[in-house]
Amino acid sequence: MTPAERTSITGLILAGGRSSRMSADGAKDKALAEFRGKRLIDHVFERFAPQVGGVMINANRNHDKYKGFGVRVVSDAIGDFAGPLAGLHAGLSASRRPYLVTVPCDSPFFPEDLVERMFDALNSTGTQLAVAMSGEQPHPVFALVRRSVLDHLSEFLKGGGRKIDAWYDTLKTVQVDFNDDALFGNINTPEELEAFDKGLPPPPRKAKPRFRRDATTDQPDAPAAAAIDVTDIIPDTPAAAGGASAPDSLAALVSCLDAYDPNALPVSKVNEVIRRFVRRVDGVEQVAVRAGLDRVLAHDIISPINVPAHDNSAMDGWAVRASDLSASQSVALSEIGAALAGREFVGKVSRGECVRITTGAVMPHGCDTVVPLEIVKVEGKAIHIPPGLEAGTNRRFAGEDLARGSAALKAGKRLGPAELGLIASLGIPEVRVRRRLRVAFFSTGDELKSVGESLAEGEVYDSNRYTLYGMLARLGVDFVDMGVVRDDPALLEAAFRTAARDADAVITSGGVSVGEADHTRHIMARLGEVVFWRIAMRPGRPMAFGRIAAGDRSAILFGLPGNPVAVMVTFYHFVRGALLHMMGRDDLDLPLLSAISTEPMRKKPGRTEYQRGILELRGGSATVRTTGQQGSGVLRSMSEANCFIVLEHDQGNIKAGDLVKVMLFDGLA
Ligand code: AMP
Ligand code: MG
C-alpha cells in the first residue's frame, strides 16, 4: 500500500455499543475501560491511526471523551444502539475518502498491517468488502468497504436489516485470513479485561495471511481465486480459459451483430467477431525465470515480501526524529552511530540524537526523517540541521513499491526484461507460463515460386511466407511453414487438414478474393465453418475467417489476401490480436499515437485506411508523412515506413497540419 493509498482510507473505530456485558446496567463504556495503563480505545487508536489516512470514532455517548483524540466523532443516525451496521453507516455517511475500514474499540491486539492486507485483497479481487478471518472464524467488525456501498447499506437498513452477516451476504466479499485467533482477542466482560490485563494472550504478532474469494462472489472480470502462495495457479477451468465465452457457431455470433454486412464490414466489427470467437488455449508449463522471456504469465505473481522490505532512506545523510527539528531555527543533534545499506543501526535513537545513514539503509528505530548530507554542517559528532525540513522527508516506506500479498504481476502479462527482473527481485526462481501457440502457414497461388527456384513468365517469388515468418517469430509462437500449395483441390485439402490437425491456428495467403478462379475458398468452406468478408479497409479488403476441422481436431483459420502489404496489414490488425488472445495475453491492441500530418491525404469516409508513414520529430513535434506510393503490392513502402498512418472509418480528407493517428512498427518492448 502506498502512502497515497493509505490516504484514501478512513479508519472507523466502532465504539457505539451499549457495553452491556461490562456492567449490569450498561453504565460503563468499555472503550474507556482501563487496560494495561491506558484506556482500551487508546490502544486501538495507536495501532490503527498509522494504518489509515484519518481516524473517525463512532460513539453514542461520552462524546467529550472521544473528542480528546482530535478526530471526528459520529453517532448512529438510527437510534437505540442498533449495532455495528448502524455505526458503519454513520462512518460511511461522514467520510469522504473512497475506502473505510472498521475495527472495534475492544480488540487491541489486531495486526499492524491489518489495513494494508485487507486493502490489497480488496483491490486485487475487485470485491466490495474485505473481512478479516482467523482460519474459519470470521471477524465481521474488522471490515474494509468501498464508500460506494453506502446507498446499498442505507437501503438495507431502511428495510429493517440490522444483522451484519446478512448484509455482508449481499456483497462481493473477499476473506482475508490472518491465521491467528489471538490477534482478534476481544474484551467484553470485566473478567476478560482482567485476564488480558495480566498479560494474556501472547503479544500480537504478524501472521502470514491468505485470502480467498467467497464462492458466491464469482464475477467474469475479477481475477480467479488468488492465494498468497506464489506457486498457486489460476485453475485452468473451461470458464477461466474462455475469457469472454465463445459461442460454438460463427453463424450464431455474426447473426447477433447489428447491421452485419459481410461485404462492407467495418474494421471494428471484424475484430469484435474474431475476438469473441477465438478462445484461449489450455496448457501451462513451469519454467525458470529466464526461460520465461517473451512467454505469457499463467498466474498472478503475489509478492511474498514487502519491497522495500523496511522503511529506509532515500538519501545519504542523517536519520533524525522530526520532533527534534525546528521550523524556525537550526538545531544541533548528536550523532550516535551509522546505518549503512546492508548493515542496520541497532539501538534506539533518543531525543536530540541522530544516526548517519546511507541511501537504502534501514531507518533506525525512532527516526522518521532523513536530512540530506548537502544541507548539514558537521562539527565532530554535532550535526547542525537547518530549519524548515518537513517530517518524513527522504524516508521510503516498507512496501512502498510493492506490498507483501499484493499482485506484482497479473496473469496474462508478457514477460519482458523488466518482468524477469521484477520476479527475481521477489526471490522467485520459477514461473508458470502458458504453452506456446502453434501456428501453421502456407501460400496459395499457381504463380508463386519459392526462393531458389527460377521464375517463368508471369511468376513471382513468394514473399508472404517470409513476412509471416517474421511477424509470427516476434510474437513468440511455434510455427510450421508449409510452403507454397498449388491450386489443386487435392493438395489444398490435404494442406488444410494437416494444419487443422497439427496447429492451433492456420494462416494462408491468397485465393480469398471474390471471383478467384482457384479452389481455395471452396475448400475452406467445405472443411469447416468459414465466413468470407470484404472489409471496409484499404489495403486488405478480402479475408476469410473461421475454424477448419480434421477429425476431432480443429484450428482457427485466417485466410489473408495475397497482396504482400495487405498480408501485413491484416496480420497486424486482425490476426495478431487474435493470436495473443489465444496465447492468454492481456494486452491485445497495438498502441496508437497522434502526429501532425505534414501533407494532405485523400481519404473517403466509410473505410479504414492504413497508409505507410514516416514518423519523425520536427520542430519539437511528432510529424508524419506518407512514404509516397501506397499500392498494396509495394512491400518497399512497408520497409521505408516506420509506422502506419491510421485513417479511421469516418474520417474524410486530411489537410496538412491535421492531427492523425499513427501506429509504430517497432518498439522496445
Ligand atoms: P490473390 O489474393 O491471390 O488474388 O493475390 C493478389 C496478388 O498478390 C497477386 O498479384 C499475387 O500474385 C500476389 N501474391 C499472392 N500470394 C503471394 C505471395 N505469397 N507472395 C507474393 N505475392 C503474392
Ligand atoms: Mg491468387
Q: Is the CB of 508 under 6 A from ligand 1?
A: no
Alpha-carbon separation of residue 142 from 88, 132, 167, 495, 541 (angstroms): 11, 6, 14, 63, 60
What local confidence, expressed as pLDDT, does residue 470 receive?
95
**Is the C-alpha dihedral spanning 206, 207, 208, 212 positive or negative?**
negative
Helices (H) and strands (E) in the chain, counts: 18, 36
What local confidence, expressed as pLDDT, does residue 14 receive?
96
228 vs 517, residue with greater confidence: 517
What local confidence, expressed as pLDDT, does residue 195 receive?
78
Residue 358, burial from CB neighbour count under 10 angstroms (0-12, 13-18, 19+): middle
pLDDT tens for 164-189 read 999 999 999 999 999 888 889 888 88
Distance CA 446, CA 158 (A): 77
Find the 444 Cα to ligand 2 centroid distance in Å.
Answer: 7
Distance CA 181, CA 497 (A): 62
* Confidence tier at 79 by pLDDT (50, 70, 90): confident
What local confidence, expressed as pLDDT, does residue 180 receive?
85
What local confidence, expressed as pLDDT, does residue 191 receive?
82
* Confidence tier at 78 by pLDDT (50, 70, 90): confident
What local confidence, expressed as pLDDT, does residue 463 receive?
97
What local confidence, expressed as pLDDT, does residue 249 receive?
87
pLDDT tens for 221-245 read 333 332 222 222 233 333 333 333 4
Nearest CA to ligand 1 atom 10: 563
Based on its alpha-carbon atoms, the radius of gyration of the chain, rounded to whole angstroms, reads: 33
Alpha-carbon separation of residue 578 from 280, 441, 589 (angstroms): 9, 15, 10
pLDDT tens for 321-339 read 999 999 999 999 999 999 9
pLDDT tens for 269-298 read 999 999 999 999 989 999 999 999 999 999
* Confidence tier at 467 by pLDDT (50, 70, 90): very high
Ligand located closest to 515 CA: 1
Q: Is the CB of 447 under 6 A from ligand 1?
A: yes
Q: Which contacts (CB < 8 Å, 24+ apart) does range 479-483 have?
A: 479/438, 479/439, 479/440, 479/441, 480/438, 480/439, 480/440, 480/441, 481/441, 481/442, 482/440, 482/441, 482/442, 483/442, 483/443, 483/450
Cell of 178: 490472518
The 3-state DSSP class for residue 546 equals strand
* Confidence tier at 257 by pLDDT (50, 70, 90): confident
Query: Closest ligand 1 atom, CA of 516?
Result: 4
192's enclosing H/E stretch is helix 190-197
The total number of residues written for the chain in this structure = 669
Q: In this structure, are residues 507 and 578 in contact, taking their beta carbons and an 8 Å threshold?
A: no
Query: Closest ligand 1 atom, CA of 463?
Result: 20
pLDDT tens for 635-661 read 998 999 999 999 999 999 999 999 999
Q: In this structure, are residues 444 and 510 in contact, taking their beta carbons and an 8 Å threshold?
A: yes
What local confidence, expressed as pLDDT, does residue 197 receive?
76
pTM (predicted TM-score):
0.64
461's enclosing H/E stretch is strand 460-461
Residue 66 has phi, psi (to 5 degrees) of -70, -30
**Residue among 153, 132, 19, 11 nearest 74 (CA):** 11
- Whether the predicted pLDDT of 466 surpasses 60: yes
Nearest CA to ligand 1 atom 16: 562
* Confidence tier at 481 by pLDDT (50, 70, 90): very high
Cell of 127: 470485491
Test site for ligand 1: of 560, 563, 570, 634, most ligand atoms within 8 A of the Cβ: 563
pLDDT tens for 434-454 read 999 999 999 999 999 999 999
* Confidence tier at 418 by pLDDT (50, 70, 90): very high
30 vs 238, residue with greater confidence: 30
Find the 519 Cα to ligand 1 centroid distance in Å.
Answer: 15
- Which of these ranges, 199-208, 393-402, 497-506, has the smallest mean pLDDT? 199-208
Nearest CA to ligand 1 atom 5: 562
What local confidence, expressed as pLDDT, does residue 482 receive?
96
Q: What is the mean pLDDT of the chain?
A: 88
- Which of these ranges, 26-30, 38-42, 310-314, 463-467, has the smallest mean pLDDT? 26-30
* Confidence tier at 199 by pLDDT (50, 70, 90): low
* Confidence tier at 517 by pLDDT (50, 70, 90): low
What is the average per-residue pLDDT within 567-580? 96
Distance CA 456, CA 435 (A): 43
What local confidence, expressed as pLDDT, does residue 21 receive?
83
Q: Is the CB of 577 under 6 A from ligand 1?
A: no
What local confidence, expressed as pLDDT, does residue 632 receive?
64
**Residue among 534, 579, 540 nearest 560 (CA):** 540
What is the average per-residue pLDDT within 59-68? 90
* Confidence tier at 603 by pLDDT (50, 70, 90): very high
What is the average per-residue pLDDT within 365-380? 95
Test site for ligand 1: of 443, 509, 569, most ligand atoms within 8 A of the Cβ: 509
Q: Is the CB of 443 under 6 A from ligand 1?
A: yes
What is the average per-residue pLDDT within 25-54? 88
- Whether the predicted pLDDT of 465 surpasses 80: yes
Nearest CA to ligand 1 atom 18: 462
549's enclosing H/E stretch is strand 542-550
Percent of the chain, pLDDT > 90? 69
pLDDT tens for 547-558 read 999 999 999 999
The 3-state DSSP class for residue 6 equals helix
What local confidence, expressed as pLDDT, does residue 26 receive?
67
Q: Is the CB of 613 under 6 A from ligand 1?
A: no
What is the average per-residue pLDDT within 9-24? 88
* Confidence tier at 667 by pLDDT (50, 70, 90): low
Ligand located closest to 560 CA: 1
- Whether the predicted pLDDT of 248 surpasses 90: no
Test site for ligand 1: of 448, 468, 469, most ligand atoms within 8 A of the Cβ: 448
- Whether the predicted pLDDT of 506 surpasses 80: yes
* Confidence tier at 565 by pLDDT (50, 70, 90): very high
Find the 325 Cα to ligand 2 centroid distance in Å.
Answer: 81
Q: In this structure, are residues 118 and 130 in contact, taking their beta carbons and an 8 Å threshold?
A: yes
